[in-house]
Structure 1
């Protein structure tokens, strides 16, 4: 079984309800995931997005670049309940906007510049596949869609729920 980074766009009203009833939020996330699996909307329009197993590499690269928002684990606790590999967190609409703007100004080449794969091994970045400089390319295909997902959420004034599953 693998660990996947999961994201759900929610309206401010849905975020308020999720904070009061995290079980409802988990049901909403599962419902939206199921619906979206059939329709596959563009990342900018999607309510659910996954970075699959690239979440830990992306988190490492973003922390290393002093990214202003933790878009891999979230900033604010949503619930104490485990949604897979720990409890979910969220980003407020303002945090989503800051993240979207910063992502839009960041390239994947900037993130990987100067990174040696041995740093990833030493930091125990999941999964342990860091045997060559080419392995840094692994998350490139997730970075642009993630940026589009955040831009779409920001444009709509949405918050984002984040968890590992």
Structure 2
């Protein structure tokens, strides 16, 4: 299966529950409508948004690997929590990145050399158009909608 990324929107009530009992974090990821699943595109998107393998840079940088650790290990460490103010900042940062800018940052050779997971970048531009771009669009929409609702976000790579 490999390492996959999921983000889940948390209402105010769910956020209060998670803060009171971080052990509940793992039970919240259920594949429902309050989630966005980036599959294995997470690392490629993080690289395109930040220009780095794991560092968090820029307003959109925390979209995938940001937040504060919370709860038990879910496979690749604990989930990470972005509070509503951080979600609004990430949403604005993602809205500032258009498809053409993201495409201009796509460099399959550099991504392969940087060992960006899932190591498929030598396949060429199809990976951008058919894999990264649709997942980026879903991520941007998720953050935009979550910010508009004033909700928090849980991030997990499992």
**Length-normalised TM-score, structure 1:** 0.83
Aligned match of 1:153: 146
Aligned to 1:21: 21
- The structure with the largest strand share of the pair is 2
The answer to whether 1:55 aligns with 2:48 is: no
Equivalent in the alignment of 1:5: 5
Q: Please, which runs of 5 or more residues in structure 2 have no aligned partner?
A: none
Please list the CA deviations of residues 114-147 of structure 1 after superposition, one character each: whole Å capped at 9, or x if unmatched. Answer: 5421110111101111115413333111111111
1:65-84 paired onto structure 2 within 5 Å = 66-68=57-59, 69-79=61-71, 81-84=72-75
Farther-moved stretch of structure 1 (67-76 vs 155-164): 67-76
Find out whether 1:121 has 2:112 as its counterpart. yes
Gaps in structure 1 of 5+ consecutive residues: 37-45
Tell me which residue corresponds to 1:100: 91
Alignment: residue pair count: 151
Separation in 2, partners of 1:108, 1:75 = 25
Q: Which runs of 4+ in 1 moved over 2 A?
A: 135-138
> Under a length normalisation based on structure 2, what TM-score does the superposition of the two structures give?
0.86
8 Å contact 1:117–1:136 — kept in the other structure? Answer: no
Q: Is the 8 A contact 1:92 1:159 kept in 2?
A: yes
> How many angstroms does 1:50 deviate by?
0.6
The RMSD of aligned alpha carbons is: 1.8
CA apart distance, 1:86: 1.4
The 3 A distance-change label for structure 1 pair 114 and 29 is closer
